[in-house]
Amino acid sequence: MPVINYIEADGTEYSVNVAEGVSLMQGALDNMIDGIIAECGGCCVCCTCHCMIDPAWSDAAGSAAADEAEMLEMVDNTEETSRLACQVKVTSAMEGMVVRLPESQY
Amino acid sequence: MSNTESAVVIGGSHAAVQLVISLRQNGWEGSISIISDEPHLPYHRPPLSKAYLAGDISEDQLALRASTAYEKLDVSFKLGLTVVAIDTENRQLQLDSGETVHFSKLALCTGARARPLAIAGADLQAVHYLRTMDDVKGIQQSAASAKSAVIIGGGYIGLETAASLTKLGVAVTVLETESRLLQRVASETTSEFYLRLHQEQGVRVKLNTQASAILGETSVTGVSCGDKHIIDADMVIIGIGVIPNTELAKDAGLAVDNGILVNEFAQTSHADIVAAGDCTNHPNALLGRTLRLESVPNATEQAKTAAASLCGIEKPYSELPWFWSDQYDVKLQIAGINQGYTDVAIRGDKTSRSFTVFYLNNSKILAADCINRPKDFMLAKKLILQNKSIDTTVLADETAELKTLITEQ
């Protein structure tokens, strides 16, 4: 099970195991990581699981699909590697991945 | 807060899960338990009629939280058990097993159940409702051998089910008593779009049609629509709305009126009992009225307020309602509640698969149906919350940016 390192905006770090095939969003929820709200539960409709993938793993995370990219365009605090965590499924290539969370999901 | 206190949640729902997490986050040190009449750990309900029915995701993927999360939270479950009475004086719950459970604080997250249809044959095999995971397992079992299905009710649940069954290769007929689909909740333009979408996918839609009886000996053979008009079918799904589960609260003497009545802090008429989710009738300051919602975001956000109240923290609940529906490759996102609208403005080509219907009153946006328009949805939420008269010509003019209407950040 790959280790994913989530870092909240205030610097709090969580190093947790997330099974392959599970989304970065679900991995955060299962470990009570506050920075992910996930109002819609992972259906790519609410934009409250925004995260920034550390550039070292951005290839492993892949790129956003059209609807995800459109939602992200409307978020104020995005970066080049921003994704919706519900749309990123964990793979073995993500071992050690660093995922930063924004200060607010709204 | 003492660690000898016990918080008990009735219902294994979205609201229940958020509520127990928020209790711990707010420093609740006592015991926490969830009593649910379903045999499963709480799961995501929205995908039931969509990805889960269509077979795109598994039962494991439906779980709201991994079981290990509840261990970390020190939350215990009593599954497959029904609370039959709340004794508010002795702070005790009576379960159908005969067991009694004590509580210091109680949360009602009892949700809603499918509204039953009282016509002949509604108790036949292969007649289903769609509210729980077990309901969907029953539908999948019927669908495995069914060639045709009748869906009674042309609301969102009926239409999502029509899309999923079509994907499974079942020939679907939708019956709607009104003159258009989604009549209670959407504009004519939205209704016309969904009628066309389903017809293009091969679904037969019969408007102004009321099912008078479900036919068959043991299992379904068809649906009668009065005056000798019979539609052959191997299975039937009834989706005609829900009834909030309020009986337990009412019998316990709590105030109930189209839902368990709560204030903006999710408190019921009893000081140590809160309620959250589909079962509540609650005030919303943004909308200036009370309402009952069938909505996951409402359940989770109201649950945060309810948990805060149980911990003695005031966190008033007032969020803009929003909803979504997935049918085929079309994603609908709805911001706000359109009740009371007098005008609509349409952005984009309403004959295409990508446009937005804005609902207006006095040049203020009340709500928006965004069909494959995620950007419009994000902006519509901001425009509704802004609550100001706007230049409505911009809405219908695709060359004008919606962003220009936003005056506050």
pLDDT, position A106? 83
Residue at B122 is within a domain: no
pLDDT, position B293? 97
- CATH number of the domain residue B51 falls in: 3.50.50.60
Residue at B121 is within a domain: no
Structural domain count, chain B: 3
pLDDT, position B403? 87
Report, in angstroms and rounded to the nearest whole number, the Rg of chain A calculated over CA atoms: 12
Sort B67 into a burial class: Cβ within 10 Å, 0-12 / 13-18 / 19+. exposed
- The whole-number average pLDDT for the span A23-41 is 94
CA dihedral B161, B165, B171, B177 (to 10 degrees): -10
B334 and B385, same domain (yes or no): yes
CA–CA distance, B401 with A70 (Å, rounded to integer): 15
- The whole-number average pLDDT for the span A4-29 is 97
Q: What confidence tier does B195 reach under pLDDT thresholds 50, 70, 90? A: very high
Q: What confidence tier does B3 reach under pLDDT thresholds 50, 70, 90? A: confident
Of B238, B265, B282, the position where a domain reaches its end is: B238
Residue A6's DSSP bridge partners are A14, A99
Neighbours of B389 (CB within 10 A): 11
Could you report the per-residue pLDDT of B166-192, keeping only the tens digit for each?
999 999 999 999 999 999 999 999 999
pLDDT, position B227? 75
CA-nearest of B153, B125, B152 to B139 is: B125
Residue at B120 is within a domain: no
Q: Can you give the residue range of the structural domain that contains B207? A: 127-238
Task: Please list every residue in chain B whose beta carbon sits closer than 8 Å to the beta carbon of residue A75.
Answer: 378
CB-CB under 8 Å, B333 with A41: no
Residue at B149 is within a domain: yes
CB-CB under 8 Å, A39 with B21: no
Residue at B320 is within a domain: no
pLDDT, position A63? 95
Q: What confidence tier does B276 reach under pLDDT thresholds 50, 70, 90? A: very high
B12 and B106, same domain (yes or no): yes
pLDDT, position B2? 62
Is residue B174 within 8 Å of residue B198, measured between CB atoms? yes
Of B238, B264, B294, the position where a domain reaches its end is: B238
Residue at B323 is within a domain: no
Could you report the per-residue pLDDT of B63-98, keeping only the tens digit for each?
999 999 999 999 999 999 999 999 999 999 999 999
pLDDT, position B226? 83
Which candidate in B325, B378, B403 is best for mutational testing of the A interface (most A CBs within 10 A)? B378
Residue at B316 is within a domain: no
CA dihedral B400, B403, B408, B409 (to 10 degrees): -160
B277 and B134, same domain (yes or no): no
B131 and B233, same domain (yes or no): yes
Rounded to whole angstroms, the maximal C-alpha distance in chain B is: 67
- The whole-number average pLDDT for the span B334-352 is 97
pLDDT, position A3? 98
Fold that domain A3-100 belongs to in CATH: Ubiquitin-like (UB roll) (3.10.20)
- Alpha carbons within 13 A on the beta-carbon side of B250: 10
Q: Residue A49 has which token pair? A: 């699981």
CB-CB under 8 Å, B46 with A42: no
Residue at B177 is within a domain: yes
CA–CA distance, A26 with B63 (Å, rounded to integer): 10
**Identity of the residue in B64, B65, B324 whose CB atom sits nearest the CB atom of A40:** B324
Is residue B169 within 8 Å of residue B181, measured between CB atoms? no
Task: Please list every residue in chain B whose beta carbon sits closer than 8 Å to the beta carbon of residue A41.
Answer: 14, 44, 46-47, 64, 296
pLDDT, position B409? 54
**Does the structure show a pLDDT above 80 at B316?**
yes
Three-state secondary structure call for residue B143: helix
B37 and B132, same domain (yes or no): no
Q: Residue B210 has which token pair? A: 């009321």
Higher pLDDT, B292 or B402: B292
pLDDT, position B408? 65
pLDDT, position B386? 93
Quote the pTM value. Answer: 0.95
Task: Please list every residue in chain A whose beta carbon sits closer than 8 Å to the beta carbon of residue B72.
Answer: 31-32
Instruction: Please name the residues between 21 and 80 in chain A that touch chain B, using a CB distance below 8 Å.
Output: 26, 29-32, 34, 39-47, 67, 70-71, 73-75
- CATH number of the domain residue B359 falls in: 3.30.390.30
Could you tell me where the beta strands, DSSP code E, fall in B142-295?
148-152, 171-175, 204-206, 213-215, 222-224, 230-232, 235-238, 242-244, 260-261, 273-275, 280-284, 289-291
**Identity of the residue in A39, A46, A73 whose CB atom sits nearest the CB atom of B375:** A73
Report chain B's mean pLDDT, rounded to a whole number: 96
What is the percent of chain B with per-residue pLDDT over 70, rounded to a whole number? 99
pLDDT, position A90? 97
CA–CA distance, A27 with A35 (Å, rounded to integer): 12
Q: Residue A106 has which token pair? A: 């709204």
**Does the structure show a pLDDT above 60 at B22?**
yes
| Cα distances (angstroms) measured from residue B385 to each of A62, B45, B366 | 34, 27, 9
CB-CB under 8 Å, B374 with A67: yes
Could you report the per-residue pLDDT of B33-48, keeping only the tens digit for each?
999 999 999 999 999 9
Kindly list the domain boundaries of chain A, sorted by start residue: 3-100
Interface residue A1 vs chain B (CB under 8 A): no
B206 and B104, same domain (yes or no): no
**Does the structure show a pLDDT above 70 at B1?**
no
